[in-house]
Amino acid sequence: MPVKAQKVSLTSSLGQFDVAEVTTDDKGKATANLSAANPGVAKIEALIGGSLKMTQQLSVTFE
């Protein structure tokens, strides 16, 4: 079941998102771009609706 119109706050241990907060669409999808000037592994965290922390761990490797 999609979660529509929820604000999602994004943080990363490396680099920066193009936006700090996005809103989910009708399908419950939130999209943001992450970029980093230095190589390494970025650990991503998402906070949904200001209180629900994403339980999946997500990391991105920049080379």
**44's tokens:** 């991503």
For the chain, which domains are there?
A: 7-62 (2.60.40.10)
| Residue 57 vs residue 16, higher pLDDT | 16
- CA 45 to CA 63: how far, in whole Å? 20
Q: State pLDDT tens for residues 24-49.
A: 999 999 999 999 999 999 999 999 99
- CA 39 to CA 60: how far, in whole Å? 10
**26's tokens:** 């009708």
| H or E, element range at 44 | strand 40-48
Question: Which class for 8: exposed (0-12), middle (13-18), buried (19 or more C-beta within 10 A)?
Answer: buried
**30's tokens:** 């939130």
pTM above 0.75, yes or no: yes
